């Protein structure tokens, strides 16, 4: 079976492209990005601000299982319904610099659509670090589980 979500991280380039085909009309796919209540549901985050327009911006806040709050924010440069969003993305209070994101929404058929996200990072090293984040988190999670199991043995 072909993968629905694809990541293209070309060697030596400080960018990456995420593509995904949705079993949804483009209107509905775009709404998932436009309406705060819906963003909250699928991103698993709290939306503190979502000002969808040129010169607008957004602030999201997530709470991890330990109760720590993490803030993600950015500026919106372009917001064209059913077509595109250009924005920045930053994880606040982390050593990671802001990244630039180009989101393109395309109608494939009346019932299907495609989202293409191109992300540009400050440097190649930064891109590779960001790519490794879920990988590192996965390792951390394994460590935490191990710790729980070990502490029960005490």
Partner 1 sequence: MKLRRDVFQAIADPTRRAILVLVATQSMTAGAIAANFDTARPTVSKHLQILTECELLKQEQNGREIYYHLNPYKMKEIADFIEPFRQMWDDRFNKLETIMKAYKPKK
Q: Which residues bind partner 1 (CB under 8 A)?
A: 3-7, 9, 11-12, 18, 20, 22-25, 28-29, 31-32, 38, 41-43, 115, 124-125, 128, 131-135, 137-138
User: In terms of C-beta density within 10 A (0-12 exposed, 13-18 middle, 19 or more buried), how is residue 30 classed?
Assistant: buried
Q: Supply the minimum distance, in Å, between the C-beta of residue 125 and partner 1.
A: 6
Q: Supply the minimum distance, in Å, between the C-beta of residue 60 and partner 1.
A: 13
Closest CA to 107 of 10, 4, 29: 29
Return the number of the residue (92 or 128) whose C-beta is nearest partner 1: 128
Q: How far apart are CA 57 and CA 52, in angstroms?
A: 7
Q: Supply the minimum distance, in Å, between the C-beta of residue 25 and partner 1.
A: 8
Q: Supply the minimum distance, in Å, between the C-beta of residue 90 and partner 1.
A: 18
Return the number of the residue (7 or 54) whose C-beta is nearest partner 1: 7
| Tokens describing residue 82 | 């059913």
Return the number of the residue (12 or 67) whose C-beta is nearest partner 1: 12
Return the number of the residue (23 or 51) whose C-beta is nearest partner 1: 23
Q: How far apart are CA 105 and CA 32, in angstroms?
A: 11
Q: Supply the minimum distance, in Å, between the C-beta of residue 117 and partner 1.
A: 9
Q: How far apart are CA 9 and CA 125, in angstroms?
A: 12
Return the number of the residue (134 or 147) whose C-beta is nearest partner 1: 134
| Tokens describing residue 48 | 């503190």
* Residue 97: CA count within 13 A, CB half-sphere: 12
């Amino acid at each position: 079976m072909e993968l629905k979500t694809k990541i293209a991280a070309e060697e030596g380039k400080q960018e990456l492209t995420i593509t995904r085909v949705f079993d949804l009309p483009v209107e509905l796919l775009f709404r998932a990005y436009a309406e705060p209540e819906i963003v909250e549901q699928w991103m698993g985050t709290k939306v503190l601000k979502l000002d969808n327009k040129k010169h607008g911006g957004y602030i999201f806040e997530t709470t991890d299982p330990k109760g720590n709050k993490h803030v993600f924010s950015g500026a919106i440069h372009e917001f064209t319904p059913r077509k595109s969003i250009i924005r920045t993305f930053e994880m606040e209070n982390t050593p990671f610099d802001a990244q630039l994101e180009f989101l393109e929404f395309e109608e494939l058929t009346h019932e299907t659509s495609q989202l293409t996200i191109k992300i540009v990072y400050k440097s190649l090293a930064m891109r590779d670090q960001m790519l490794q984040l879920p990988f590192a988190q996965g390792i951390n999670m394994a460590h935490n589980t191990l710790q729980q199991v070990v502490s029960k043995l005490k």
